[in-house]
Amino acid sequence: MVETVDRPADPTDKSGATRRPRSISASDMRALIPDLGLIEYWYPALEDKKVKNKPVGVKICGVDLVFFRGGDGQVKCLWNVCPHRGGSLMHGDCHYKGTISCPYHGWTYDGDGNVLAVLPEGPDSQVPGKVKARAYPTQTHKGMVFVWMGEGEPAPIEEDVPPEFFDDITTVLYHTEYWPVQWNLALENGGDAHVPYVHRNSFRQLQNPMMWSSATGSRQKIVNGRAVVAIGGPPNRRRSSGGNDYQKYFPLLDARWPKHSYRLWWTWIWSLNRKRVAKLPPWDAPEEWASGHHLPGMYRGDHRTDLYTRNCIPVTEKLSRQIYYKAVRPKNWIGRVYERIFHRVYWRWAMYINFSSQDFKAVSPQRYDTPEHLSATDLHQVYWRRLVLQARGMKRPEEVEAIPRTEAEDLSFRYMADAEAYAESKQNGAATNGAATNGIATNGAATNGATSRTPSATS
């Protein structure tokens, strides 16, 4: 008997009768991904400049944390709960350099969590040296404070934090916002076919002709057990099998999409800049850190002029913090000043407020607990979900590989194989018959060994 996950009732069906939808299987990837995220990882917490003379509270992976300046001037982190009687340290004070005091009984801690004094008991208190608060390791790089949320020894931070934080040539700029959306639901907004549709009226899209996602999707691979990247580059950088005309005819609709071509009037204004960007080389980064998803919860995109990263950090089961990085490489101090002004005046509005708000409007009402019917362009998400289950503190790759593929996963692989076969037959002028004509493989399996195999860290 297949175990299922109990979910809320669906709205009424076509007959008007209230019914309960078919629950997703407990082995469905979505049901196995923890709502509070992956614990054994480094996460960006907040910008260093946000921590001044008062404690600052931040919740990550459902854990309340407090940040303050240690004796060495670096930002330190403790569990927000005072071990005395559960007081909230974020509501306390930093009376002395390098310390934080609980607002209730004045228990005063250093950056390692040691009790240095119990202020109302005087210097003869017997508590110091006998009690310690939970401390979380921190590192600060390029103005961002990272915190290790794991129970064990911290992993090398270079495995979890992009390489631009450790070089001398890149400037990284930040923006933070909150989405009332589960972290992985928010994070799966990348590597699929949504961009030409959801963002068709964004200012950035109006600067360029509409991009068509290839109906065949793109083959994916897992790199170093930490990232999922498309083989051959991001799908929206590749031309579809039907060319790249702005409007295309849909036979079953007997209509063209987009319905209007007025957006093209904007493109001539930006044509020179478009040509300039097209001549730029891809961002210089290891394959693991190129465009795609990266553990514990990042999506990265190469704009050539910059490298975009969105971190989806679990706060609660239904709330996530989005921390954006914009990595740029100005040649001198004038360029660095320009990039900061450009980021503040234009980029934060164009990329985060205008562009990303369209993502949020699409994602926020989305259901994550009903059966799916995936397309070839969803293959990236299939690999990503499998990778999350192989993350630190989760399952071994062979355990994940042993989990049966869901019907939705199989359909994604099949559609991709059939779409590729159909595109190849058109290119060769061959007759299009069999499975490729209806979009579902007749043999029930992908036609290529690379796609029929369950994704694992060794893919």
Provide the pLDDT for residue 6.
36
Q: Which residues of 120-152 are buried (b: 16+ CB within 10 A; e: fewer)?
A: eeeeebeebeeeebebbebbebbebbbbbbbee
Q: What is the pLDDT of residue 70?
A: 96
In a domain, 312, yes or no: yes
Range in 12-16, 52-56, 141-145, 167-171 the model is least confident about: 12-16
Q: What is the mean pLDDT of the chain?
A: 84
Residues 171 and 317 in one domain: yes
Token pair of 51, please? Answer: 């921590």
Distance CA 181, CA 387 (A): 21
Residue 41: predicted pLDDT: 98
Q: In this model, does residue 244 exceed pLDDT 70?
A: no
* Residue 298 and residue 190 in one domain: yes
Q: What is the mean pLDDT of residues 346-354?
A: 93
Residue 240 has pLDDT above 60, yes or no: no
pLDDT higher than threshold 90 for residue 260: no
Angle, helices 407-428/379-388, rounded to nearest 10 degrees = 140
Asked which of 329, 346, 370 is the last residue of a domain, the reply is 370
Domain match, 169 and 152 both:
no
- pLDDT at position 24: 66
For residues 152 and 169, state if they share a domain: no
Write down the pLDDT at residue 416.
72
Contacts of 264 (CB under 8 A, 6+ apart): 209, 246
Instruction: Name the amino acid, one letter, at 188.
Output: E
Tell whether 26 and 48 lie within a shared domain: no
For 295-430, strand residue ranges (E) read 298-302, 307-316, 319-328
CATH number of the domain within which 142 lies: 2.102.10.10
Residue 282 sits in which domain range? 163-210+263-370
pLDDT value at residue 210: 67
Residue 5 lies in a domain: yes
Residue 185: inside a domain: yes
Q: What is the mean pLDDT of residues 49-77?
A: 97
Q: 3: closest CA among 34, 24, 29, 18?
A: 24
CA distance linking residue 98 with residue 76, whole number of Å:
9
Q: Are residues 173 and 314 in the same domain?
A: yes
- Lowest mean pLDDT across 13-27, 92-106, 309-323, 444-458: 444-458
Task: Give percent of the chain with pLDDT exceeding 90.
Answer: 59
pLDDT band of 234, cuts 50, 70, 90? low
Q: Is the pLDDT of residue 385 over 60?
A: yes
| Backbone conformation region of residue 233, classed left if phi is above 0, alpha if psi is from -120 to 50, else beta | left
pLDDT classification of 306: cutoffs 50, 70, 90: very high
pLDDT exceeding 70 applies to what percent of the chain? 83
Same domain, 13 and 52: no
- CA of 94: how far to CAs of 75, 100, 139, 362, 363, in Å? 13, 5, 20, 43, 40
Region 238-265: mean pLDDT is 77
Distances (CA, A) of 390 to 9, 33, 154, 161, 451: 31, 10, 18, 18, 19
Q: Which of 138-147, 185-194, 221-230, 399-408 has the lowest mean pLDDT?
A: 399-408
Report residue 400's pLDDT band, with 50, 70 and 90 as the boundaries.
confident
- The structural domain count of the chain equals 3
242 found inside a domain = no
**What pTM did the predictor assign?**
0.84
At residue 7, the pLDDT reads 32
**Residue 127 in contact with residue 15, Cβ under 8 Å?**
no
Tell me the mean pLDDT in the region 44-59. Answer: 97
pLDDT for 441 beyond 60: no
pLDDT at 445 over 60: no
**Closest to 110 (Cα-Cα) out of 149, 64, 76, 63:** 76
Whether 180 maps to a domain, the answer reads yes
Q: Inform me whether the pLDDT recorded for 381 exceeds 80.
A: yes
| pLDDT (0 to 100) of residue 415 | 73
Q: Please indicate, yes or no, whether residues 86 and 20 belong to a single structural domain of this protein.
A: no
Q: Which two tokens stand for residue 337?
A: 């000043």
Q: Check which CATH number belongs to the domain holding 285 and give it.
A: 3.90.380.10
Residues 75, 6, single domain; the answer is: no
320 and 194: one domain? yes
The answer, yes or no, to whether residue 434 has pLDDT greater than 50, is no
Least confident interval from 10-19, 119-128, 132-141: 10-19
Question: Is residue 19 one of the residues assigned to a domain?
Answer: yes
Q: Which amino acid is at 168?
A: D
Confirm whether 378 is domain-assigned.
no
421 vs 2, more confident: 421
pLDDT of residue 454: 46
Contact 381, 188 (CB under 8 A): yes
Using the 3D structure, point to which of 370, 394, 415 is the last residue of a domain: 370
Asked if pLDDT for residue 452 goes beyond 90, the answer is no
Tell me which residue of 285, 294, 291 sits closest to 308, measured CA to CA: 291
CA distance linking residue 106 with residue 89, whole number of Å: 10
Which of 370, 387, 408 is the last residue before a domain boundary? 370
Whether pLDDT at 211 is above 90: no
Q: Do 171 and 284 share a domain, yes or no?
A: yes
State the average pLDDT over residues 128-156: 96
126 and 178 in a single domain? The answer is no
- In this prediction, residues 95-106 reach a mean pLDDT of 97
Assess if residue 239 is contained within a domain: no
**CA–CA gap between residue 26 and residue 404 (Å, rounded):** 11
pLDDT in the model for residue 276: 87
